[in-house]
Structure 1
Amino acid sequence: MNQSVIIGDELTISHETVGFYALSQGMKINCSLSFNKLNQLTGEAVTPENAEALFERARFDIEDIAEKAIKNQCHEDNELLL
């Protein structure tokens, strides 16, 4: 598990994104991962029905991507789009 950024266990699935939160230095950042990006990470077509399973399969990669984006301050108003 990543030490500087922690990804929460709660996921919100919509028609085109997976919503989750990251904790970094005591700050909660709401994140959205597009189905397109999840498809790139897993190589599988993403639907609302399989998005959670695919997210879990790619969780460590997603943590790395979120950590880099947060360190580079790519988020606005505690929102991060991946």
Structure 2
Amino acid sequence: MNQSILFPDLQDWDSQTQTILFPAQVQGANIECLISLNKLTQLSSVTFEQDNDGLEAQALAVFDEYRFDIEEEVEMLIEQESFDEQGRVVLI
């Protein structure tokens, strides 16, 4: 694990885009990261409920369960400088 990339234990659900937003800290700078519900499904093989309240809790639980794998993929993308046009790392 690259110690210059840190992941605070912070994450938020965006119900409009159905993504989880979480930060990565690289040499003191925050980089916004997103993972889509579709990507969470690919990682976990979980079928998500489409009820908004249940969906948020379920998505955050799956994110927490697969956090290490997600962080490894984000680290690789940061090292490759694979950012979107807004400077974010997006896993879709």
Q: TM-score per shorter chain, which class?
A: 0.7 to 0.9
The aligned counterpart of 2:78 is: 70
Gaps of 5+ in 2: 49-54
- TM-score, normalised via structure 1 length: 0.86
The aligned counterpart of 2:88 is: 79
Change (3 A) 1:2 1:44: farther
AA in 1 matched with 2:57: E
Query: For residues 2 and 56 of structure 1, what CA distance do their matches in structure 2 show?
Result: 20
Gaps of 5+ in 1: none
- TM-score, normalised via structure 2 length: 0.78
Match of 1:24 among 14, 18, 26: 26
The aligned counterpart of 1:41 is: 43
- Which of 1 and 2 has greater Rg? 2
AA in 2 matched with 1:22: A
State yes or no: 1:58 paired with 2:66.
Answer: yes
Identity percentage of aligned residues: 35
Q: Which runs of 4+ in 1 moved over 3 A?
A: none
Indicate if the aligned counterparts of 1:17 and 1:35 stay in contact, CA closer than 8 A: yes
Give the total of aligned pairs: 82
